[in-house]
Structure 1
Amino acid sequence: MEYMIPKKVETIDVDIQRHELKYHHKRVAVTKEFTFDAAHHLHCYEGKCKSLHGHTYKLVITMSGFVNDIGIVVDFGDIKRIFNEEIKNKLDHRYLNEVLPNMNTTAENMIVWIWEQLDTKLQLEGVKEKGTRLESLTLYETPTSYAMVTREWMSDND
């Protein structure tokens, strides 16, 4: 394969027309990952996690929707802003037992709370009206231990 320097950078309305920016009308998922640090302990648990300890949590957010007129489902910067406002600002470098609603601060409980926060924010910002929705969240407590939820599971009342 030969690598080449482009002779000319594309210019909108000259080399590519605006109507060509939206290539399709298919649902597409986009994913962004974030980390935050927090401390917690578990109640009614007989193991080392009953003691106060901390984690570097990793949250993987997957959203889906239909591309807009310029070919974007949701701007990665908007996902980052929403994460910062709704999750990071509330949980990063905090004692989770103190800042979350009354619950055992397990990854299983936290992931549902996180879904509720993000889903509500998407509703308030009018993103859901455009067909963009949360598809799944994965919350890593350690590099090998995580909890996840999907849109299907969060919609069911089983």
Structure 2
Amino acid sequence: MSNIRITKQFSFETGHALYGYDGKCKNVHGHSYRLDVTVIGKPITDNTNVKYGMVIDFGDLKKIVKEEIVNVFDHATVFNKNTPHVELANELKKRGHNVLLVNYQPTSEMMVIDFAKKIKARLPQNIKLHSLKLQETATSFAEWFAYDQE
């Protein structure tokens, strides 16, 4: 049976600021992110299986990505906790804002690496993460490919 890639798209709104950056993105701002998640595997050949013919049920993939990424990052503001932005983050938290503190500069590049790690950990053993595309604006995105990691 052939390996087949399937892709599911997600969207979420997230704010961030890039500490130490020399442009406008040093200021707190937000994006309407689009995340394309592509997995690869062989379709199920057991015709008694309710998921016969599927690589993975789109609903199962959706559940993983929603729980690990979308529900966590949607309408949150992300700061690198290893910078003075932690003070701003703590103040926002005190005022009831949804703030995420991460161990990295919250660029699209670093976020997509984080997302890959989280999604890979939840996929069934016979399914591999092939690629992620995190689109920050209409013309800017970061991509992660499994074969680049080898």
Q: TM-score range by the shorter chain?
A: 0.7 to 0.9
Residue in structure 1 matched with residue 2 of structure 2 by the alignment:
26
- Partner of 2:109: helix, strand, or coil? helix
Structure 1 outlier segments of 4+, above 2 Å: none
Of 40, 43, 47, the match for 1:64: 40
Residue in structure 2 matched with residue 18 of structure 1 by the alignment:
none
**Deviation of the 1:99 alpha carbon:** 1.4
Where do 5+ consecutive residues of structure 1 fail to align? Answer: 1-24
TM-score, normalising length: structure 1: 0.76
CA distance in 1, matches of 2:57, 2:137: 28
Flag the structure with higher strand content.
Answer: 2
Residue in structure 2 matched with residue 112 of structure 1 by the alignment:
113
Q: Which of the pair has more CA radius of gyration?
A: 1
- Partner of 2:7: helix, strand, or coil? strand
Alignment of 1:149 onto 2:125:
no
Residue in structure 1 matched with residue 73 of structure 2 by the alignment:
91
Residue in structure 1 matched with residue 13 of structure 2 by the alignment:
37
Question: Percent identical across equivalent pairs?
Answer: 38
Residue in structure 2 matched with residue 19 of structure 1 by the alignment:
none
**Deviation of the 1:51 alpha carbon:** 0.6
Structure 2 vs 1, CA of residues 102 and 45 (structure 1 numbering), >3 Å: closer, same or farther? same
Residue in structure 2 matched with residue 103 of structure 1 by the alignment:
104
TM-score, normalising length: structure 2: 0.80
**Deviation of the 1:142 alpha carbon:** 0.5
Where do 5+ consecutive residues of structure 2 fail to align? Answer: 47-51, 80-98
**Deviation of the 1:100 alpha carbon:** 4.4
Give, as a single letter, the amino acid of the residue that structure 1 aligns with 2:16.
Answer: H
**Deviation of the 1:88 alpha carbon:** 1.1
- Partner of 2:102: helix, strand, or coil? coil
**Deviation of the 1:41 alpha carbon:** 0.6
CA distance in 2, matches of 1:37, 1:115: 19
Matched positions, count:
125
Residue in structure 1 matched with residue 25 of structure 2 by the alignment:
49
Q: CA offsets, 1:55-114, max 9 Å, x none?
A: 010000000100102110001111111111110121110011141422111001000000
- Partner of 1:39: helix, strand, or coil? strand
**Deviation of the 1:135 alpha carbon:** 0.3
Residue in structure 2 matched with residue 8 of structure 1 by the alignment:
none
Structure 2 vs 1, CA of residues 45 and 59 (structure 1 numbering), >3 Å: closer, same or farther? same
